[in-house]
Amino acid sequence: MTTARTNLIGLTREELTEALAAIGEKPFRAKQLWHWLYHQGAKSFDDMTTLSKSMREKLPEHFYVGRPEVVQHLTSVDGTQKWLFRLEDGNEIEAVLIPEEDRGALCISSQVGCSLNCAFCNTGTQRIVRNLTAAELVGQVMAARDSQGEWPSGLDGRKIVNIVLMGMGEPLMNFDNVKKALKIIKDGEGIAISRRRITLSTSGVVPMMARAGEEIDVDLAISLHAVRDELRDVLVPINKKYPLDSLLKACAAYPGARNSRRITMEYVMLKDVNDSEADAHLLAKLMRQYDIPAKFNLIPFNPWPGTSYETSSNNAVHRFSKILNDLGFSAPIRHPRGRDIMAACGQLKSASENQKLKDLAAKREAALDSAPAPSI
Ligand code: SAH
Ligand code: SF4
């Protein structure tokens, strides 16, 4: 009888050591394998040339090195890259590489779909399917590095320098796997991306925030988007469960938050919804009132098929940013990247799901075409 093989990607050092012990191998093998997997980025046991031949033959009987499969790799006119990955069970997720002048940020997904249904978010229209495993979280980083030729770790001039958990899904609804994956990603003898270069974005799963600061220890971003509960209840419905007062208190208490390591407040700019001067003033006032070391990130809304929200005018966005600046806050406007390949914030969704939307639109158009022409 054959037993199912185990994916080595996604195991912590301790788990890897245990898995090897179970087939009679000594702990130093785990160190060797760790180096091959996460420092060299080896994709198969055959590539692990410092292992004996017998070892290279034995390992595949029990284990494999699994990455998500790249189904599609798109590059935007602005240089943003997007990967559509297929997971072992056929589900699909996306990751995006946003290049900047001297470095880049890889935006990874934490769930297939999302359970939180924020009104302005494309991912939120896709039902939650499941949490990603630690292997699938780490695998996105590894597959992106494969595609950019960025192995071994520590190469000069690499693009994937920062990691942001801002893709599909809510990372704090998948706490254990996110924690485990980030521990692997941060390990200095492997992928080696430091905690200061990792940002976790949450829509406000308040009870998990303190634990995130203590146990995951990365920078925090909050999807704030509104300064009044009535509006935030609509835009970010988890606010009904954890209203602004509880969220802002949790931000003030976030273990990593200091002036040198401020919390990023993300604010999507929605035309005539949350972009007034009064909102900007209230935003600054709240940060002072709760004593939150905050900086802002103003995100012009990225439209997607079927949404009724619109992007705030350039004037409104600049006015908003200036008010915050004048009150002493950093409030850069994040220029939309990769909109042409649906890779911008909040546009991600499994391609098969997008196809359903397109099919629906095509059907509607066909129905209109065949309808009798209106008399003029
Ligand atoms: N679930 C987490 C992380 C993923 S969303 C969270 O909500 O924080 C990453 C960011 O993109 C969030 O701030 C989210 O509110 C924002 N976003 C979602 N849809 C958007 C859209 N259509 N345009 C611009 N930003 C959007
Ligand atoms: Fe989920 Fe974040 Fe989108 Fe809200 S904004 S639906 S929490 S992915």
The pLDDT of residue 352: 53
What is the distance between the alpha carbons of residues 285 and 301, in angstroms, rounded to a whole number? 24
Mean pLDDT of 236-260: 92
Per-residue pLDDT at 14 exceeds 90: yes
Mean pLDDT of 281-310: 95
Ligand 1 pocket test, candidate residues 166, 263, 349, most atoms within 8 A of CB? 166
CB atoms within 10 A of CB 245: 11
CB of 109 sitting under 6 A from ligand 1: no
| Segment 296-305 mean pLDDT | 92
Cβ of 94 closer than 6 Å to ligand 1, yes or no, is no
Which atom, in ligand 2's list, is nearest to the CA of 123?
3
DSSP structure class, residue 216: I
Task: Provide DSSP, 131-156.
Answer: EPPHHHHHHHHHHHHHHHT--STT-T
pLDDT of residue 102: 75
Tell me which H or E stretch contains 61.
helix 53-62
User: How is 95-125 classified by DSSP, letter by letter?
Assistant: EEEEE-SS-EEEE--SEES-SS--TT-SGGG
- Ligand 1: distance of its center to the CA of 20 in Å? 40
Q: pLDDT value at position 1?
A: 47
What pLDDT was estimated at residue 304? 87
Mean of the per-residue pLDDT values of the chain? 90
202 lines ligand 1 (CB under 6 A): yes
How many angstroms is it from 170 CA to the middle of ligand 1? 10
What does the pLDDT look like over 199-232, one tens digit per residue? Answer: 999 999 999 999 999 999 999 999 999 999 999 9
Which of 96, 108, 121 should be mutated for ligand 2, with most atoms under 8 A from CB? 121
Residue among 345, 348, 349 to mutate when testing ligand 1 (max atoms within 8 A of CB) = 345
Those residues whose C-beta lies under 8 Å from the C-beta of residue 70, and which sit 6 or more positions away, are 83, 84, 85, 143, 147
Ligand 2 and 114: CB distance under 6 A: yes
The residue assigned the tokens 């980083």 is 141
DSSP summary character for residue 253: T
Q: Cβ(274) to ligand 2 under 6 A?
A: no
Backbone angles phi, psi at 215, to 5 degrees: -95, -30
pLDDT grade for 86, boundaries at 50, 70 and 90: very high
Burial of 177 (0-12, 13-18, 19+ CB in 10 A): buried
Residues of the chain with pLDDT > 70, as a percent, come to 91
Which positions ≥6 away from 179 have C-beta within 8 Å? 215, 216
Locate the ligand 1 atom nearest the alpha carbon of residue 346 and give its number: 19
pLDDT at 5: 95
pLDDT digits (tens, 9 = 90+) for 148-182: 999 999 888 889 999 999 999 999 999 999 999 99
> Does residue 152 have a cis peptide bond before it, meaning omega lies within 30 degrees of 0?
yes
Asked if residue 296 has its Cβ within 6 Å of ligand 1, the reply is: no
pLDDT above 50: residue 374: no
Look at residue 125 in the predicted model and tell me its pLDDT: 82
Distance 81 CA to ligand 2 centre (A): 21
**pLDDT given for residue 355 in this prediction:** 52
- pTM, entire model: 0.91
Please tell me the predicted confidence (pLDDT) of residue 2: 53
Ligand 2 close to Cβ of residue 223 (< 6 A): yes
Q: Is the Cβ atom of 238 under 6 angstroms away from ligand 1?
A: no
Model pLDDT, residue 351 = 58
The more confidently predicted of residues 339 and 356 is 339
Tell me the torsion sign for CA atoms 112, 118, 119, 121.
negative
> Judging by DSSP bridges, how do beta strands 69-75 and 81-86 pair with one another?
antiparallel
Ligand closest to 342 (CA) is: 1
User: Which residues participate in catalysis according to the annotation?
Assistant: 94, 345
Q: What is the pLDDT of residue 162?
A: 96
Residue 3 has pLDDT above 70, yes or no: no
pLDDT at 367 over 50: no
Average pLDDT, integer, range 309-326: 97
Q: If you search the block for the tokens 């390992």, which residue do you land on?
A: 59
How many whole angstroms separate alpha carbon 125 and alpha carbon 147? Answer: 30
Q: Average pLDDT in the 67-90 region?
A: 94
Half-sphere exposure (CA, 13 Å, Cβ side) for 202? Answer: 28
> Which atom of ligand 2 is nearest to 170's Cα?
7
Please identify, by atom number, the ligand 2 atom nearest to the C-alpha of residue 111. Answer: 8
Q: Is the CB of 201 under 6 A from ligand 1?
A: yes
H-helix or E-strand spanning residue 198? strand 198-202
| E strand or H helix that includes residue 80 | none
Confidence of residue 119 (pLDDT cuts 50, 70, 90): very high
In sequence order, what are the beta bridge partners of 106? Answer: 97, 163
Q: Whose CA is nearest to atom 21 of ligand 1?
A: 346
Per-residue HEC secondary structure of 313-348 comes to CHHHHHHHHHHHHHCCCCCCECCCCCHHHCCCCCCC
Measure the CA dihedral 265/308/315/326, to 10°. Answer: -20
Expressed in angstroms and rounded, the spacing between residue 166 Cα and the centre of ligand 2 is: 9
How much is the pLDDT for 336? 80
Q: At residue 64, does pLDDT exceed 70?
A: yes
Q: Are 167 and 120 in contact (CB under 8 A)?
A: no
What is the pLDDT confidence band of residue 58, given thresholds at 50, 70 and 90? very high
214's tokens:
């203590």
* Overall average pLDDT of the 249-253 stretch: 96
End-to-end CA distance of the chain: 75
Whether 203 lines ligand 2, by a CB cut-off of 6 Å, is yes
CA-derived radius of gyration, the chain: 22
Q: Which of 115, 116, 127, 232 to mutate to test the pocket of ligand 2 (most atoms within 8 A of CB)?
A: 116
Closest CA to 216 of 203, 204, 199, 235: 199
Specify the amino acid at residue 335.
H
If pLDDT is split at 50, 70 and 90, which confidence band does 372 have?
Answer: very low
- What pLDDT shows up at residue 49? 93
Mean pLDDT value across residues 32-58: 95
